[in-house]
């Protein structure tokens, strides 16, 4: 991926306004997408990534952690369905995006204030606040995705979203590290709640900056809703292909398999292994760094060979990641595992998002995003509930003859089962749907040489060496 051009000179307010006025509407919207990503990244790195840690401060149980992960997603995804239904109420897609961003910013107040006012009900009040936040986030999603993808050529979506995701990953990484350091300082003084207060109020203010950025988009495309909107059930029955329905099944079940383990890594790392907040923050940061380094390569891979090929590679690799937590509790090992987890998830997330855009017509894109999200949320909920039940039933010690396996808790077994279910889903369902675009064809074994990290190493090994070097 080529380096980004330097930002235009902004010596005076007048020259800046003139520059914005001369921007092509599509270019103006694409720039907003990148800059809005920075605002989202601050909220994710300094807010969303520490919600589970805040819940532990409030003495949340494993069941409440699973609810914290599942319920807000379900409510938020239903907000996407409502968002599509009421889209004709708004004069433009950007108006709908505007109010969604306002809601996201303001919702950090109840997330922080309600649990601190009534700490005896803290975990449940936190769940309520987070549900409000994700409802507003998902309400914005269909309009945002439809707006941005309408400005992009189908063969540049992977590159654009990879570029945006890379900016998000880098910003989120920096904010995550700063937030971890901030919390560690206040933790050492037994004032951890003060650290969370500063953190959540800051990310709420940061999210509101997207409102200003949105107002600078020139010549906004007008929203033209369909005169006879189709219901979601009718859309699933007649408006999408069998190929897309098989993809939805794969995506939903993969989310279920992943979330068997997902909500409980923070519990394992902080409570079982007693990692400091800065060590936990570094673990999370390693995953973000893996995303940052490989997103351009994944984007180019998806544009060139198709998002189905991208899903085929990453859908199998993601199965083995949680299994590795059985092998060691050494902090450097855990950080390395999460780094490679970030590499794989960068490709899988990009493929899951972009496949939806490719598989449906542009007029149905917002509806397809909402349907995909609710399928994923149902999988999310099933996985988290199944994980919390497994925690209560799976033993923390396995003995076969003279061989005994006894980790610090039963959570590594839960992680292993999550990986096994991921492998079953990928092996059974990846073959049932196909690439909807015309893309370059390669044999699977040759595709491996095109993967991020692998391709640069291969090119480096083939580079001729100079005798003077």
Long-range pairs, 236-241, Cβ under 8 A, ≥24: 236/371, 239/360, 239/364, 239/367, 240/359, 240/360, 240/364, 240/368, 240/371, 241/359, 241/436
pLDDT at 434 over 60: yes
Torsional sign, CA 234, 235, 236, 241:
positive
Query: Can you tell me which residue has the tokens 């500063």?
Result: 198
Is 13 part of any domain? no
Residues 6 or more apart in contact with residue 27 via CB below 8 angstroms = none
Cα separation of 197 and 251, whole Å? 36
- Return the pLDDT at 367: 77
> Percentage of residues in the chain with pLDDT exceeding 90?
19
- Return the pLDDT at 444: 64
- Return the pLDDT at 453: 63
**Residue 409 to residues 57, 275, 280, 412, Cα–Cα distance (Å):** 20, 15, 18, 7
Cα separation of 59 and 74, whole Å? 23
Residues 6 or more apart in contact with residue 354 via CB below 8 angstroms = 157, 158, 161, 302, 307
Is 176 part of any domain? yes
Assigned token pair, 229: 């909107």
Is 8 part of any domain? no
pLDDT at 244 over 80: yes
> Percentage of residues in the chain with pLDDT exceeding 70?
82
Is 33 part of any domain? yes
Highest mean pLDDT among 185-199, 313-327, 347-361: 313-327
- Return the pLDDT at 447: 67
Q: Pick the range with the lowest mean pLDDT from 143-152, 223-232, 423-432.
A: 223-232
Is 463 part of any domain? no
| Domain total in the chain | 1
What digits encode the pLDDT tens for the residues 70-101?
777 677 777 877 887 777 787 777 788 888 88
Over residues 213-239, mean pLDDT: 58
Is 228 part of any domain? no
Task: Please answer whether residues 158 and 303 qualify as being in contact, where contact means their C-beta atoms are separated by less than 8 angstroms.
Answer: yes
Is 160 part of any domain? yes
- Return the pLDDT at 466: 46
Res. 336 pLDDT band, cuts 50 70 90: very high
Assigned token pair, 125: 């009040």
- Return the pLDDT at 25: 55
Q: Which domain holds residue 134?
A: 24-220+235-454
Question: 3-state DSSP helix/strand/coil percent for the chain, to nearest 5?
Answer: 80, 0, 20
Is 9 part of any domain? no
pLDDT at 119 over 70: yes
- Return the pLDDT at 338: 94
Please give the helix or strand (H or E) that residue 259 lies within, else none. helix 242-259
Cα separation of 320 and 57, whole Å? 31
pLDDT at 253 over 90: yes
pLDDT at 228 over 50: no
Task: Please answer whether residues 174 and 46 qualify as being in contact, where contact means their C-beta atoms are separated by less than 8 angstroms.
Answer: no
CATH number at residue 46: 1.20.1250.20
What are the φ and ψ backbone dihedral angles of 21, each rounded to 5 degrees? -70, -30
């Amino acid at each position: 991926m080529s380096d980004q051009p330097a930002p235009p000179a902004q010596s005076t307010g007048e020259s800046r306004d003139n520059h914005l006025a001369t921007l092509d509407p599509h270019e103006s919207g694409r720039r907003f997408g990148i800059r809005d990503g920075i605002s989202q990244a601050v909220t994710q790195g300094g807010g969303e990534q520490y919600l589970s840690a805040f819940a532990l401060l409030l003495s949340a149980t494993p069941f409440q952690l699973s609810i914290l992960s599942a319920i807000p997603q379900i409510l938020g995804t239903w907000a996407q369905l409502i968002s599509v239904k009421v889209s004709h109420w708004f004069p433009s897609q950007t108006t709908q995006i505007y109010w969604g961003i306002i809601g996201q910013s303001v919702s950090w107040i109840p997330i922080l204030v309600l649990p601190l006012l009534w700490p005896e009900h803290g975990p449940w009040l936190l769940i309520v606040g987070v549900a409000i936040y994700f409802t507003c986030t998902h309400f914005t999603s269909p309009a945002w995705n439809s707006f941005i993808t309408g400005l992009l050529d189908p063969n540049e979506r992977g590159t654009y979203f990879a570029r945006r995701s890379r900016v998000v990953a880098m910003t989120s990484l920096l904010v995550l590290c700063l937030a971890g350091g901030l919390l560690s300082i206040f933790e050492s003084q037994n004032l951890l709640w003060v650290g969370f207060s500063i953190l959540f109020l800051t990310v709420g203010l940061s999210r509101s900056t997207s409102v200003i950025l949105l107002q600078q988009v020139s010549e906004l495309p007008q929203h033209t809703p369909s005169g006879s909107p189709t219901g979601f059930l009718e859309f699933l029955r007649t408006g999408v292909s069998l190929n897309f329905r098989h993809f939805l099944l794969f995506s939903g079940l993969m989310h279920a398999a992943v979330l068997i383990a997902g909500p409980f890594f923070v519990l394992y790392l902080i409570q079982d292994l007693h990692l400091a907040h800065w060590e936990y923050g570094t673990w999370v940061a390693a995953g973000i760094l893996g995303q940052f380094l490989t997103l351009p390569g994944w984007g180019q891979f998806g544009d060139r060979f198709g998002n189905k090929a991208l899903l085929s590679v990453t859908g199998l690799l993601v199965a083995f990641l949680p299994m590795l937590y059985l092998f060691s509790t050494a902090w450097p090992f855990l950080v390395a595992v999460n780094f490679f987890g970030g590499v794989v998830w960068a490709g899988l997330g990009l493929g899951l998002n972009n496949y939806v855009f490719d598989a449906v017509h542009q007029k149905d894109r917002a509806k397809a995003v909402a349907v995909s999200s609710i399928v994923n949320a149902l999988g999310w909920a099933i996985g988290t509930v199944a994980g919390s039940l497994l925690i209560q039933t799976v033993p923390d010690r396995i003995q076969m003859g003279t061989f005994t396996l006894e980790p610090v808790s039963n959570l590594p077994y839960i992680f292993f089962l999550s990986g096994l279910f991921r492998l079953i889903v990928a092996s059974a369902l990846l073959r049932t749907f196909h690439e909807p675009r015309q893309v370059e064809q390669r044999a699977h074994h040759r595709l491996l040489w095109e993967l991020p990290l692998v391709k640069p190493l291969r090119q480096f090994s083939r580079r001729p060496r100079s005798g003077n070097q």
